[in-house]
Amino acid sequence: MAKPTTIRPGYFVAISLMPGTAPANCYIGLVQAADEYGLRINMVEWDNELDGVKKYTEDLFLPWININSMLVCTEEEPVRRFVKDRAPAWRAQVEAMEAGG
């Protein structure tokens, strides 16, 4: 389990979940809160028209016990590269692994 001081609000994450815990097996989002129970993220994607991060209107709570692994982008790293390129590529790799490919 990651400690709340390791993952902080404002970090972008790509989170791989344990199989069977949610409709998708990987989510990309902006951390809104982290505590001893889990993470609350606002799911995001890259909007090419706006050339910026597009946020969803709802947040997703992920209990620590359901998290398998994470790719993390701190405020010191380039958000554009993470949200547009790195996180979607990582999600595709996670999905391929879980599909057996």
pLDDT in tens, 60-94: 999 999 999 999 999 888 999 999 999 999 999 99
Residue 61 lies in a domain: yes
| Residue 55, domain extent | 12-98
Residue 31 lies in a domain: yes
Residue 66 lies in a domain: yes
Q: Tens of pLDDT along 19-56? A: 899 999 999 999 999 999 999 999 999 999 989 999 98
Separation between Cα atoms, residue 96 and residue 61, nearest integer Å:
24
Q: 33 has which bridge partners?
A: 40
**Domain tally for the chain?**
1
Entry field: residues in the chain: 101
State pTM to two decimals: 0.88
Strand order across the 38-47 sheet: 52-63, 38-47, 26-34, 12-17, 67-73
- The domain that holds 58 is classified in CATH as 2.30.30
Q: Write phi, then psi, for 61 (nearest 5 degrees).
A: -95, 130
